[in-house]
């Protein structure tokens, strides 16, 4: 049968693959035939996710993306052990919730390191000669927070807006090399970051208003992974520089 | 941390004068005890004491003293 989103033998690097949308994307892409290279901090979680992947030839690496300076070396190691990449999904992210008076530079930097600086540094490292195959597709998991403001979400929103702006620039810069670069922008999805949101403000009026505007309810990781898999596939070969909203109706209501 | 240091830190976190924070002050009587201040207290526990507290813990705080007792 014809499969529009065929990822057979595509080698896809996924950061933050140990949980949530990263883990779900790893599982889905493996079902579609891809060879998955997972990177995350927690080895025990990576081992669990690896067991749920279909097919063979997958690999995982324990790496903390806060070490931005080490990323170039890390990518070299991956490419030398796994070969050139066909896809990269940046799912690693920190969900920071802080009032301005507690948003000191070290906190802002910690969020930007994982959510943003590592995204750009990985792209810089994998787009070097011999590190990628023609048709490379890069997908960053951003958020609708990049377009909406909310109190205490300065660091998170800014890091996601930076990702969105970056893909618009890099899409144009890299298209000659047949590389596509996009972000997906989910609203509230059932992940660890959602649990954090519930713990901090789940019963507040703000939270109730947010959920009422997201009228299709809470999203599941697979709702995001489906779009990521599509963007990774050749079926999306005309899409680059886009920020694709997946919000259960929230921004339009 | 002495009781005075705790009150100084809590006053800074809540953005009010130290003199307004007596041990038996009911939090509900403080004008500043809103969702932003509660969140600031959650973050302060994480930053200063490495403690993850949640909105459920916050609900259990009735007086200033309840917060001070947990600051260790």
ipTM: 0.78
Is A200 a domain residue? Answer: no
Is A211 a domain residue? Answer: no
* CA B45/CA A223 separation, integer angstroms: 35
Give B-chain residues touching A203 at CB under 8 angstroms: 55
Closest in A97, A202, A203 to B39, CB measured: A97
User: What totals of helices (H) and strands (E) does chain A contain, helices first?
Assistant: 9, 7
Average pLDDT (A37-47) is 97
Summarize pLDDT for A151-186 with one digit per residue, the tens.
889 999 999 999 999 999 999 999 999 999 999 999
For each of the domains in chain B, give its residue range(s) and CATH number, in order of start.
Answer: 3-70 (1.10.1200.10)
Please tell me the total count of domains within chain A.
Answer: 1
- The enclosing domain of A229 has a CATH number of 3.40.50.720
Is A59 a domain residue? Answer: yes
* CA A159/CA A142 separation, integer angstroms: 8
Give the count of alpha carbons within 13 A of A143, CB side only. Answer: 28
Is A202 a domain residue? Answer: no
Average pLDDT (A49-56) is 98
**Would you call A99 and B39 a contact, using CB atoms and an 8 Å cutoff?**
yes
| Opening angle at CA A123, ends A125 and A155, nearest 5 | 125
The catalytic residues of A are 156
pLDDT exceeds 90 at position A95: no
Beta bridge partners of A40: A62
Is A201 a domain residue? Answer: no
H/E stretch holding A185:
strand A180-186
Average pLDDT (A22-39) is 98
Interface membership of B46 toward A (CB under 8 Å): no
* CA A24/CA A233 separation, integer angstroms: 16
| Domain span holding position A155 | 11-192+220-246
Query: Judging by DSSP bridges, how do beta strands A132-141 and A11-15 pair with one another?
Result: unpaired
Residues 15-44 in B contacting A (C-alpha not used; CB under 8 Å): 15, 35-36, 39-40, 42-44
Summarize pLDDT for A123-147 with one digit per residue, the tens.
999 999 999 999 999 999 999 999 9
Per-residue confidence band for A203, with pLDDT thresholds at 50, 70 and 90: low
* CA A115/CA A103 separation, integer angstroms: 16
Average pLDDT, chain A: 95
Summarize pLDDT for A7-28 with one digit per residue, the tens.
999 999 999 999 999 999 999 9
Is A166 a domain residue? Answer: yes
**Would you call B43 and A99 a contact, using CB atoms and an 8 Å cutoff?**
yes
Of A22-26, A85-89, A95-99, A127-131, where does mean pLDDT reach its minimum?
A: A95-99
Is A203 a domain residue? Answer: no
* CA A180/CA A135 separation, integer angstroms: 7
**Would you call A206 and B44 a contact, using CB atoms and an 8 Å cutoff?**
no
Lookup result for tokens 């070396």: A73
Is A251 a domain residue? Answer: no
């Amino acid at each position: 049968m014809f499969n529009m989103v065929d990822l057979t033998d595509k080698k896809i690097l996924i950061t933050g693959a140990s949980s949530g949308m990263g883990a779900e994307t790893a599982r889905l892409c493996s079902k579609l035939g891809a060879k998955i290279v997972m990177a995350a901090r927690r080895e025990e979680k990576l081992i669990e996710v690896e067991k749920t992947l279909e097919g063979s030839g997958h690999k995982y690496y324990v790496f903390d993306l806060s070490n931005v300076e080490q990323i170039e070396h890390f990518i070299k190691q991956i490419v030398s052990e796994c070969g050139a990449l066909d896809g990269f999904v940046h799912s690693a992210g920190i969900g920071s919730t802080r009032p301005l008076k507690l948003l000191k530079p070290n906190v802002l930097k910690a969020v930007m390191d994982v959510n943003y600086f590592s995204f750009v540094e990985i792209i810089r490292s994998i787009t070097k000669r011999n590190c990628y195959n023609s048709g490379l597709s890069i997908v960053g998991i951003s958020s609708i927070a990049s377009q909406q403001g909310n109190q205490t979400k300065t660091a998170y929103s800014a890091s996601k807006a930076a990702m969105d702006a970056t893909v618009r620039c890099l899409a144009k810069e890299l298209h000659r090399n047949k590389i596509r670069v996009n972000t997906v922008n989910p609203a509230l999805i059932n992940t660890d970051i959602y649990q954090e949101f519930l713990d901090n403000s789940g019963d507040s009026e703000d939270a109730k208003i947010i959920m009422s505007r997201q009228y299709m309810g809470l999203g599941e990781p697979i709702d995001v992974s489906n779009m990521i898999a599509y963007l990774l596939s050749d079926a999306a070969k005309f899409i680059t520089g886009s920020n694709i909203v997946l919000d259960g109706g929230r921004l339009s209501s | 941390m002495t009781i005075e240091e705790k009150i100084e830190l809590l006053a800074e976190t809540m953005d009010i004068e130290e003199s307004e924070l007596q041990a038996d002050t009911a939090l509900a009587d403080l004008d500043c005890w809103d969702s932003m201040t509660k969140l600031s207290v959650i973050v302060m526990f994480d930053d200063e004491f490495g403690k993850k507290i949640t909105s459920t813990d916050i609900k259990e705080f009735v007086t200033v003293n309840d917060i001070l007792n947990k600051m260790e």
